[in-house]
Chains A and B, each alone.
Chain A
Amino acid sequence: MRPLTELETKTFFEKLAKYIGRNITHLIDRGDETYCFRLHRDRVYYVSESVMRKATSVGRDQLISLGICFGKFTKTGKFRMHVTCLDYIAQYAKHKVWIKPNGEMPFLYGNHVVKAHIGRVTEDTPEHQGVIVYSMTDVPLGFGVTARSTSDTRKMEPTAIVVFHQADIGEYLRQEDTLF
């Protein structure tokens, strides 16, 4: 466990900003408690200072996880967001997509979101913007990247992909072995 280097922080924030933009400020500077990002085994954890301080007693080999995992750095140095951070990014997301009940299961099986399944979309969502995918009952299901801007989407046919799948909560089951 260690703090992120400057380069790592930059890579991480760049990815995170795709979804929550400047709202990262709220993660860094919280009103309630001091939180920090810590890197452990290539994974970035978002954890309160008190928990982090206690977790330093745990050996490096024995520490499995602390706080909430935001994602991991790949071997090539890129950052990959995990579905585990959904709670936080859903809280601060700027752009959202709601999908109909018939689109829930396909998305939870790792498929892209097609136009036919879209229930609602945040207005003025640009192209290639990170969006949070919600069910119609406002349960966050995952996140993805828009294929087209909202205005372009209107002209598309129902089977066209609107949101590219990035992560979904089905990964808790599908990728339990690799995710953690």
Chain B
Amino acid sequence: MDVSGVLEAHKQKFKSVSVEGKVIPVEYDLGLLAAYDQNPVDEAELKKNKEEYLHSLSRDNAQLLFNEIFQLQTISDDNGVMAILPAPTTLLPREKPLPKPKPETRWEKFAKAKGIVNRKKERMVYDDATGEYKPRWGYKGINDDGSKDWIIEVPAGANPMEDQYEARREAKKERIERNEKRRQRNMEEAAVATKMDQKAVNKGDRPNMDNARSLKRKEIESQILISKNSTASAGKFDEAIKGDLKPKGIKRQFAPTVTDLSKEKAGNMSILDRVVGKNGEDLVNVRKAIKATKRQ
């Protein structure tokens, strides 16, 4: 059966899969199912027949994209035939800003000064006793400080009756606490330094931590003074504590006692003019004076 006629008719119904007339070849980023047409738009056509023109342009470019996709390697499974897309080549902009660099901690500062470099260590270490790998720290970690030793030698000079297990637990607790304190301190100092050194922070640099400590002190003092004034009487009737901070008043500036008095005089006169009015009330009661002279 000659279906050529039917095919022809069908073919007539659809446009050709090949697209011509692209001076600059279209660029593809198949990973993102995207095609970029760099050819200039025909202005005259766009003005004359806008919808039609845009429609045909879009169809052509879409056709080109599909052509490319159909040339990709395919796999088939239950859901049908699928093309394997390559990795996208176009870089997209970041939604959120980059994280700011963290302020330097005291350790970092110390390590930098001493040239200590952080070497990467594995998370898991081999435990000789059990012949297993165990986390270096944390839950079920090997770092149990010998609290799992079944026997502990009493250190020289120590009280033999003292529970050495307890002592080790205590020591560990203390270390943890101390570390926590340091962490807190680092955070506080970092907060103050960030607040004070906004210039560097805005530039994306680390804030200057050099005088973080004195900054911190100042911050605390100002907070104390605020709290002292935050009573019902604005701190007036609170008992003064010895050695307590005193709010520093505003240093007022006055003119020196002995000055050029002619200047002072001129200043006074101008104030007087403002107070009484330039013409002001006259030195003489004019109305009365006129009356008096008339009477004469």
Contacts and interface: CB of A to CB of B under 8 A. Distances in A.
Interface residues of B, number: 23
B252 to A, nearest CB: 9
A170 interface: no
A21 B268 contact: no
Nearest to A23: B283
A36 interface: yes
A6 B254 contact: no
A8 to B, nearest CB: 10
A119 B192 CA distance: 76
B292 to A, nearest CB: 11
B93 interface: no
Interface in B271-292: 271-272, 274-276, 280-283, 285, 288
Given A3-B264, A6-B267, A123-B288, A25 B272 contact: yes
Contacts of B283: 21-23, 25
Interface string B247-278: 00000001111110100110111011011100
Interface of A: 1-3, 5-6, 9-10, 13-14, 17, 21-25, 28-29, 34, 36-38, 49, 52-53, 56, 94, 123-124
30 contacts: A2-B255, A2-B256, A3-B255, A3-B257, A3-B264, A5-B255, A6-B267, A9-B271, A10-B274, A13-B268, A13-B272, A13-B275, A17-B275, A21-B276, A21-B280, A22-B280, A22-B281, A23-B283, A24-B276, A28-B265, A28-B268, A28-B269, A28-B272, A29-B265, A34-B261, A36-B261, A37-B268, A53-B258, A56-B258, A94-B281
Interface of B: 254-259, 261, 264-265, 267-269, 271-272, 274-276, 280-283, 285, 288
